[in-house]
Structure formats: C-alpha cells, structure tokens
Amino acid sequence: MLKKALIGAVALTALTAAQAQAQYSDNKIKIGVLTDLSGTYSDLAGKGAIVAAQMAVEDFGGKVNGVPVEIVSADHQNKADIASSIARKWYDAEQVDAIAELVTTAAAIAVREVSKEKGKIDLVSGAASTALTNAKCSTTGFHWTYDTAALANGTANAVVKNGGKSWYFLTADYAFGHDLQAQTERVVKANGGEIKGAVRHPFPNSDFSSFLLQAQASGAQIIGLANAGADTINAIKQAKEFGITQGGQSLAGMLVFITDVHSLGLETAQGMMMTTGYYWNRDDETRAWSKRWSAKMDGKMPSMVHAGTYSSVMHYLKALAAAKTDDGMKVAEQMRALPIKDASGFAINGKIRADGRMVHDMYLAQVKKPSESKGPWDYYNIVRTIPGDDAYQSLADSKCDLVKK
C-alpha cells in the first residue's frame, strides 16, 4: 500500500516536472484539416491535404516534446457557415489547437474570424484571396501556398513581357473571379498592356463557346481565364475546339492546378503558361517527397495545396516545440521567428511577414507537349523561378493593420 502510494507520488512529481517544461493544454496537440472533401476542390485539396498533414506529423515523430499529435478532419463543403461552425466546435469542445488547409476564400475568411477571436492558429493553403493578408489579417493567421496577387504577378508579367499586350477576360461571376481579374488587370496595365474587354460568365458554366466567340471577335492577343476548376477546364477544351489558339490568340489560365492539367490532357493543355507554388518534378527533394505522398494516394501527384499543407503543418509543429506551449500567440511568434524548411521542398526562401503572408519562391510553368512528357504526371517545364518578394504583394501596399507604416 505504502509502496503504491510512493510510486504514485513519484509519478506525479515526474508529470508535473514535465509540465513545467512544456505547457500543452490537455496533454495533446490536435490539428484540424478543414477542407472540401466532396465538391469542386476535392481533388486539388481534399483527402490529399489530410494525407499531407498526416505525413507532416509522422515525419516530425508523432510527438511534440513528448506530447502526442493528432490530425482530425472535416468537410466544409465550400460553405462559410459550415466552416465557421465546425471551427467553433473544434476549438470550443474538441481541444483543436490549429486548423489547416481551408480551400475556398469564403470558408477561409469565416474560419479566420473564429481563430482570431479564440487566439488559435489557422494555416490557410487552398484559398486564393489576398483579403486574408489585408483586411482580414490576424496575428495567429497564416496564408501559406499562393494568392491571387502572386498568380497575377507571375503569369501576367511573363505573358505581357513575351508580347501579349492586349487582353480579354473570361471571368467567373463571383468574388474570386472579380478579384483575380482586377489583380491581373493591374499587372497588365503596369506593364504597358491594354484591356480589350471582359465577359462575366455564370458560375458554374459548362458551355463557353459563346464567350470564346466574343473574346475571338475582340481581337485581343491573350484571353485571360479568371476562373477555376471545371470552368477553366471547359474554357480551355472549347478554345481548342473553336480554333482560338490556331488563330493566333493565346490563353492564360490565371489559376490552374496540376489536377486541372491532368484532367485536360497534354494534347489540349500544351503550351499554356501558369504560375504555381510547387511542382512535384522540380528537383530530387520534391520528387522524393511527392513519391511518398503518391504512394498513399493511388499514384496521383500532389498539387501545390497538398505540398503547402504539409509545409505549413510541419512548420507549426516546429514552432510548437520551440514555444514549449500551444498558446496561439506564442506559437505564432515562433512561427515568424523560425526558418522555414521541410522535406517537401515547398517553401524555398520562405519567410513569414507581419501580415501573415508566407512569402516563398513561385514558379512560372509551361505545360509540356505530349512528346516532351516522360511519364504520367510529367506535365510542366519550369520556365522561371519568381523570387517571393517579386511574386507577392509588397508590404507597403498591404492594408493589414498589423503592418507598421
């Protein structure tokens, strides 16, 4: 009896000693992956993002200073209300410490509001809008993979400099499309290009022939596609059918993921320019990581959102270890201080700014000809590396109130 009590006392002392070293509430780290598991974005984010987050936890050793890490996940169905109610439930009732992925701007902003209120970390990867690091910025909120400014700077700059001076836009008629068009127009005009016009198409839309014909009649050299997913795929497929590209006009897909190229096939997509935050076949490091991911995902290859989710979760775990607490403010401080480096080869020259933007090198890619492709998913030639500072909106232009001016 006495022996048992003694052991108990020793164990208790040991436990409190450990806690004095590192303060992790409820002795568990929980990271929620909140994403689209069934809708339009479920290929470019979705299950692959959960797999990527799990890989980050495994690669980190499954524990932070001896405290186990667990990944939970849910489907926000691209709806802001569902996203924010899941976030609330996770933070309030299920001891979730951070939420990752968050495709769809509306959903990401909804979760951003909740995280800000609760002082919890959000790691946005799939959402595109620059609003997340401007009006909606937060000390504990991070935007990791790409944004509309980087896409516009990367693609539009290169295209205008290659002689594509006059533009016509096919724009998805909702907030994201309008934002992407506005960002691109700004870059085109800054480079001395001109805007011939734009047509706003319903979202979603399957037949683009009518809009393509209007774009053709405008005589613009470049048809900018300010849309995403199936809309982009349909527009590109039908542009080829209507002889737009043979007629000397070129397409510029402002937001194209590798999953879209896979769906189009190289025969249709070849020659298209785009900006991406990641390409699996860029070097040995990216190939090694992507093949590990691929083995868990039936041979698919990761999109930039998948790699970005891995990278952001990995960096969060490192910051947790360094901060020795799961307090959101302290972890966020460490996240900004620590160098960003991980096995996926994602965040090259990565750094986190005051506005929460993780600035890293982006890549201008061109889709290969079918004859150049050496195997499945071998789709891009990297034309140019765009240094992070050139790609992203400059801090001077930021409307974030955390940026000291």
Give the binding site for another protein (CB under 8 A).
38-44, 46, 173, 199-202, 204-207, 209-211, 213-214, 216-217, 229-230, 233-234, 237-238, 241-243, 247, 259-260, 262-265, 267-268
User: Minimum distance between the CB of residue 77 and another protein, rounded to whole angstroms?
Assistant: 13
User: Minimum distance between the CB of residue 102 and another protein, rounded to whole angstroms?
Assistant: 18
Q: Interhelix angle for 284-296 vs 46-60, to 10°?
A: 110
CA dihedral of 95, 99, 100, 101, whole degrees rounded to 10: 130
Cβ closest to another protein, residue 247 vs residue 339 = 247
Cβ closest to another protein, residue 29 vs residue 236 = 236
> What's the N-to-C CA distance of the chain in angstroms?
67
Cβ closest to another protein, residue 46 vs residue 308 = 46
Tokens coding 116:
């800000």
Cβ closest to another protein, residue 284 vs residue 298 = 298
Cβ burial 152-163 (10 Å sphere, 16+ → b, else e): bbbbbbbbbeee
User: Minimum distance between the CB of residue 132 and another protein, rounded to whole angstroms?
Assistant: 24
User: Minimum distance between the CB of residue 43 and another protein, rounded to whole angstroms?
Assistant: 4
Cβ closest to another protein, residue 84 vs residue 104 = 104
Cβ closest to another protein, residue 98 vs residue 261 = 261
Question: Do residues 281 and 336 touch, judged by C-beta distance below 8 A?
Answer: no
User: Minimum distance between the CB of residue 213 and another protein, rounded to whole angstroms?
Assistant: 5
User: Minimum distance between the CB of residue 242 and another protein, rounded to whole angstroms?
Assistant: 6
DSSP string computed for 52-69: HHHHHHHHHTSEETTEEE
Among candidate residues 280, 240, 247, 242, the one with its CA nearest the CA of residue 264: 240
Question: Do residues 73 and 36 touch, judged by C-beta distance below 8 A?
Answer: no
